[in-house]
Amino acid sequence: MTEVELEKENTAIANEYRNLLKISYQFLTDEDKKLIRLAFNTAVDAHKDQRRKSGEAYIFHPIAVAKIVAAEIGLDATSIAAALLHDVVEDTDFTLNDMERLFGETVARIVDGLTKISKLQNEADVSLQAENFRKMLLTLHDDVRVIIIKIADRLHNMQTMASMPSHKQVKIASETLYIYAPLAHRMGLYNIKTELEDLSLKYTEPEVYNSILEKTLESKEEQNDYIKTFNDSIRESLDNQNIDFQIKGRPKSIFSIRKKMLKQNVSFEEVYDKFAVRIIYKCDQEQEKFIAWKIYSIVTDHYRPNPVRLRDWISSPKSTGYEALHITVMGPKGRWVEVQIRSERMNEIAEKGYAAHYKYKQGAKDEGGLDEWLVKLQEALENNEANAVDFIEQFKLNLYSKEIFVFTPKGDLKSLPKGATSLDFAFSIHSQVGYRTRGTRVNGKLVPLSHVLKSGDQVEVITSENTKPTANWLEYVTTARAKSKIKSSLNDEKKKIAADGKELLSRKLKQLKITLNEKSVNELVSFFELKTSLDLFYRAGLGNIDNKRLKDFAAERSNAFISFFKKRTRKQSTHEEVNKDEITHKYDLLVFGKEEEKLNYKLSSCCNPIPGDQVFGFVTVSEGIKVHKTNCPNSVSLQANYAYRIIKAKWIDSSQQEYFTDLIITGIDQLGLVNNLTMVISNNMHVNIKKISFETDDGVFTGHITVSVQNKNTIDKLINNIKKINGIDRVKRV
């Protein structure tokens, strides 16, 4: 930067500072100004070498936060000073002791609280799930000003987020929607809440945001006309009653319009209450309620009110301190419009929250007023901890009924579609994490991979190098991303097994004096009634191609003449069948219940289910299990009257099926035995370990292992390989 530029910047900083004092909502004494001046000088000095991502001097940020605190929220000098200093301890060489020495205990305590929050957000080993976050916000600090300044800090960060990388923008915006906007709402900081929401939408869904913004600007003129018509129609009646008032249009925020569009599934044009009419009147505080109802009476003389949409927040103010009378009337042009009737005092409270409330109650210069508010707010937060939690949950659920928010162990927020499972979460982190998912922990507890996540859950993925996706995984996930990743991995795996299978098959054929080439492969594919050569090699790799059947094939083939015609006919018919009924071909085994057991069954004659159909089993009195299609005409009455006799059933591809087998292994305990054992199991032959335990007793080793395999032959091979390990004495199947 040149000297001229620096000088310009210094002037700008000085201007900002003067402006800060000017716009303070609270009256500032000379002592207050001294405190703020010292805080300003300290912050300027502390941040002098820092710049923000946008390139501007860092000090502009704390000043902007202090301005929000001073003017928009209307806090006291202590808070303004703390806002100026909020990043000093976190980012510079100044310590908490320096803060206390220079500014006293209160400011130091607030800065300490703010430092703790930003540290919590950055520390990797602190679990920052929603629950903890809320608790932290509600109980960590004995001064509620910490949270308020934090909200102001977040607002300014959101306002100046343009120069950040987009993944950070989305993360910060999601967090803002989840935590900060609801908190601002709870504190009665209506304007700030609205701005936070709109800014969040701008970064999470830029296209949606821009399109609504554009349309809002387009409809501006029409809105002004409407309000003018409304104004003209009731002005005279109000004037006759000597009411001092003004009428304004209050546009609905972009975020609220979006929310309504989603909730009611309507287009922008169909949202009828895109703005409200606000009547703000001047009067003595004793007359407020009376005049509000007087205005109500005049408005409803002109326009028919909707009786179910009357809200009297004057007689019983909202917990946030909000007071007003809301009515909805059939306004000009036959459109329902909300009319908000507020005194000037009520309007100020609506915009500033409790700070204004107490100003009116106690007088502007009475410090006790603000303190009383802070104490009350603190109490409200502490006493209603459960409600605050519910509040955040509900708020968010209403907003994003199709989305949930979960946390990583580091406290990063992730959004997933509703219904997503812990395995979906793993794939959302990275496909390489997904592929290696061995288990998942939700809120510290181990859960199945199919566990459906809820908002606020903290999810941890346990990975292992040896884990690979299995076909079952497809049932554990709901997101398209996870599904396609698992499918492609299964295909890779299939190809790997097929490559082994091809070699194996080639060797076996050699013994039968047959060369493996395109011709013989095609013949084999049709002989085994398969679809592709990949299927053939895959089955060979799994050990599903029977030696005896291969010999049959060789015998048939050696009789060239006959087999030539046979092949021709078979090939043709098989080909047609496959095209006609691909599903039938793939699903070849019917299994029952959760455990996918193989049971005896009969296909019912009323609906004649075929492989691949959606089916269920019905336990009959004399004929065992009968299988019906889910859409069988008899299904409804069977399900309704004999629910207890219904048994889950489905068609599966037996080549994809997993078998669970328990093995008991005994031997002589020696160094490295367990290691060798697990190596043999998990490195060989596509076997997954499901459960494993070992014990030794006086040098005798016993291991219990549950494995899953896709084929029974694999188990025999596995047992043989385990027996070869040095020290292993016996392997038994249980």
Catalytic residue among 9, 16, 56, 90: 90
Cα–Cα distances in angstroms (integers) from residue 406 to residues 91, 197, 313, 394, 443, in the given order = 29, 19, 36, 15, 10
Residue 47 C-alpha from the chain's centroid:
36
Count of residues of this chain found to bind Mn ion when the rule CB under 5 A is applied: 2
- In the bound complex, what is the minimum distance in angstroms from residue 534's beta carbon to Mn ion? 58
Tell me which stretch binds Mn ion (CB under 5 A): 152-160, 215-223, 290-298, 499-507. Answer: 152-160
Q: Which is nearer to Mn ion, 43 or 346 (by Cβ)?
A: 43
Q: Interaction with Mn ion in 583-602: which residues (CB under 5 A)?
A: none
- In the bound complex, what is the minimum distance in angstroms from residue 61's beta carbon to Mn ion? 6
Place of tokens 């603190």: 378
- In the bound complex, what is the minimum distance in angstroms from residue 14's beta carbon to Mn ion? 21
- In the bound complex, what is the minimum distance in angstroms from residue 84's beta carbon to Mn ion? 11
- In the bound complex, what is the minimum distance in angstroms from residue 86's beta carbon to Mn ion? 6
644 vs 285: CA distance, rounded Å: 68
- Residue 669's region, left for phi above 0, alpha for psi from -120 to 50, else beta, is beta
What sign does the CA torsion over 419, 422, 423, 428 have? positive
CB 527 within 8 A of CB 553: yes
The token pair at 45 is: 């000095």
507 vs 213: CA distance, rounded Å: 70
Q: Is residue 91 annotated as part of the catalytic site, yes or no?
A: yes
HSE, CB side, 13 Å, CA atoms: give it for residue 680: 20
Sole binder of Mn ion in the list 72, 76, 87, 143 (CB under 5 A): 87
CB 152 within 8 A of CB 82: no
- Helices and strands: H and E segment counts in the chain: 31, 20
Q: Which is nearer to Mn ion, 153 or 175 (by Cβ)?
A: 153
- In the bound complex, what is the minimum distance in angstroms from residue 114's beta carbon to Mn ion? 8
DSSP state of 138: I
Residue 343 β-bridge partners = 281
Q: Which is nearer to Mn ion, 90 or 503 (by Cβ)?
A: 90
Q: Which is nearer to Mn ion, 64 or 509 (by Cβ)?
A: 64
Q: Which residues in 646-667 are b (16+ Cβ under 10 Å) and which e?
A: ebebbbbeebbbeeebebebeb
- In the bound complex, what is the minimum distance in angstroms from residue 150's beta carbon to Mn ion? 9
Closest by alpha carbon to 647, among 584, 586, 599? 599
- In the bound complex, what is the minimum distance in angstroms from residue 28's beta carbon to Mn ion? 23
Q: Phi first, then psi: what are they for 103, rounded to 5°?
A: -120, 0
Q: Which is nearer to Mn ion, 60 or 226 (by Cβ)?
A: 60
DSSP state of 248: E
Q: Which is nearer to Mn ion, 153 or 424 (by Cβ)?
A: 153
Tell me which stretch binds Mn ion (CB under 5 A): 147-155, 336-344, 471-479, 513-521. Answer: 147-155
Per-residue string for binding with Mn ion, 508-547, x by CB under 5 A? ----------------------------------------
Q: Which is nearer to Mn ion, 87 or 348 (by Cβ)?
A: 87
Measure the N-to-C terminal CA separation of the chain; round to a whole number of Å: 79
Per-residue string for binding with Mn ion, 193-232, x by CB under 5 A? ----------------------------------------
Beta strands in 454-563 (DSSP E): 459-463
Q: Is 338 near Mn ion (CB under 5 A)?
A: no
466 vs 482: CA distance, rounded Å: 19
Q: Which is nearer to Mn ion, 87 or 424 (by Cβ)?
A: 87
Tell me the residue nearest to Mn ion as measured from the CB: 153
Q: Is residue 90 annotated as part of the catalytic site, yes or no?
A: yes
Q: Is 158 near Mn ion (CB under 5 A)?
A: no
Residue 619 β-bridge partners = 625
Q: Is 153 near Mn ion (CB under 5 A)?
A: yes
Q: Which is nearer to Mn ion, 87 or 143 (by Cβ)?
A: 87
CA dihedral 429, 434, 439, 445 (to 10 degrees): 20
Catalytic residue among 9, 16, 56, 91: 91
- In the bound complex, what is the minimum distance in angstroms from residue 129's beta carbon to Mn ion? 23
Q: Interaction with Mn ion in 689-728: which residues (CB under 5 A)?
A: none
The string of DSSP letters for 480-502 reads: HHHHHHHHHHHHHHHHHHHHHHH
173 vs 178: CA distance, rounded Å: 9
The token pair at 551 is: 């010999």
- The residues that touch Mn ion, with contacts defined as CB under 5 A, are 87, 153
Catalytically active residues are: 90-91
